[in-house]
Amino acid sequence: MAPPKYLTGDKAAINEFIDKFDTFLFDCDGVLWSGDHVFDGVPETILMLKARGKRTVFVTNNSTKSRQEYLKKLAGLQIPCELEDVFGSSYSAAVYISRILKLPPGKNKVFAIGEAGIEAELTAEGIPCIGGPDEKFRRDITPEDFAGLADGTLLDPEVGVVLCGLDYHINYLKLSTALHYLRRGAVFLATNVDSTLPMHHSFFMGAGSCSIPLQYASNQTPLALGKPSQAMMDAVEGKFQLDRAKTCMIGDRLNTDIKFGVEGNLGGTLHVLSGVHQKEDWEKEDAVAVPAYYADKLSDLKIIA
Ligand code: PLP
Ligand code: CA
């Protein structure tokens, strides 16, 4: 296999790269911004791609925000985008539950571990949801909870799915409640399984780390709906009528973004070095995925505008 092609500073290679694709899928954090700081030249780069007739789609594993909230964030950072062009892991999970799982009436509720973004996306797809940001679960477990979970009186018999995303308020009560639903046969899903959440030049607990205690206790593995899951690729393809050969995934993380593009048989993958992984990570023999292209940062594509 040819080594990844370095695009930074190579006008001819950049032009050829842009001409090769009609759709670019962008990872967000680490590519467009870091936290609330937009990288220099990013809005202009997206505008340039749009001016060249490219479709730009934003594919994020962040489950805590709804697409509406993401749109607000993109607009606030002057990145041109419409609601239809945002695809988040909570939305991906909601689409999977409503269009693929098709739960029977009477068993169609979701118990969510996560923030408001999960609840918003489930509700928008018409899926009843309990847990999530509900204050009722943001407290210590009591002796009555232990008894009520054990005998089932505290469980909603209509719950058919446990969906786990990143929850800044995760606690013993929520995890124990989820475990009891799983033990009663609920389908185990995760919005995404990122091990870590990069912030402030450090690493915090990612959504994948929130679901690990449940995996351990239940001895079950969730189906993850965020990158690199091909369930998410199928949903993106269905929604945007992608021609995979003419689509390129741009990301900063090999085990989510680049793997997503490689396993999805996309025409290309571009690794930008402005986020979590670096060149050394795909140079290793046991690299989880190797990109077709790499560049120092997204705005390096702009020099030929
Ligand atoms: N999950 C959460 C909660 C986040 O805040 C982020 C980044 O902000 C991510 C996942 C990773 O998002 P992305 O896929 O855009 O890098
Ligand atoms: Ca990222």
Task: Give the closest ligand to the alpha carbon of residue 277.
Answer: 2
Q: How far is the CA of 174 from the centre of ligand 2 (A)?
A: 27
Structural domain contains residue 218: yes
Q: 18: domain range?
A: 5-61+228-301
Query: Of the residues 171, 192, 224, which one is the last residue of a structural domain?
Result: 224
Beta bridge partners of 131: 112
Token pair belonging to 262: 């490689």
**Binding site residues for Mg(2+), as ranges?**
27, 29, 252
Dmax (CA) for the chain in angstroms is 68
Gap between the Cα atoms of 89 and 232, Å rounded: 8
Atom of ligand 1 at shortest range from CA of 28? 15
Residues 220 and 232 in one domain: no
pLDDT, position 304: 57
27 is catalytic: yes
Residues 208 and 104 in one domain: yes
Per-residue pLDDT for 303 more than 80? no
Beta pairing, strands 37-38 & 5-6: unpaired
CATH number of the domain where residue 281 is located: 3.40.50.1000
Structural domain contains residue 72: no
Query: Of the residues 224, 254, 282, which one is the last residue of a structural domain?
Result: 224
Q: What is the pTM assigned to this prediction?
A: 0.93
Structural domain contains residue 49: yes
**Given its phi and psi angles, is residue 45 left (phi above 0), alpha (psi -120 to 50 degrees) or beta?**
alpha
Structural domain tally of the chain?
2
Residues 194 and 256 in one domain: no
Structural domain contains residue 68: no
Query: Of the residues 224, 245, 265, which one is the last residue of a structural domain?
Result: 224
Residues 248 and 271 in one domain: yes
19, 22, 29, 234: which one is catalytic? 29
Average pLDDT on 63-87 reads: 95
What does pLDDT average to over the chain?
96
Average pLDDT on 24-50 reads: 96
Average pLDDT on 191-212 reads: 95
Residues 102 and 198 in one domain: yes
Residues 215 and 248 in one domain: no
Closest by alpha carbon to 159, among 181, 179, 176? Answer: 181
**ipTM value > 0.90:** yes
167 is catalytic: no
Residues 95 and 220 in one domain: yes
Residues 101 and 220 in one domain: yes
Average pLDDT on 35-49 reads: 95
Residues 180 and 286 in one domain: no
pLDDT in tens, 101-115: 989 999 999 999 999
Q: How confident is the model at residue 238 (pLDDT cuts 50, 70, 90)?
A: confident
pLDDT, position 239: 87
Q: How far is the CA of 89 from the centre of ligand 2 (A)?
A: 12
pLDDT in tens, 262-289: 999 999 999 999 999 999 999 998 899 9
pLDDT, position 305: 45
**Binding site residues for substrate, as ranges?**
227
Structural domain contains residue 253: yes
Atom of ligand 1 at shortest range from CA of 27? 15
Average pLDDT on 231-239 reads: 91
pLDDT in tens, 135-178: 999 999 999 999 999 999 999 999 999 999 999 999 999 999 99
**Strand segments (E) across 141-232:** 159-164, 187-190, 196-199, 202-205, 223-224
Structural domain contains residue 141: yes
Q: How far is the CA of 62 from the centre of ligand 1 (A)?
A: 4
Q: Whose CA is nearest to atom 1 of ligand 1?
A: 62
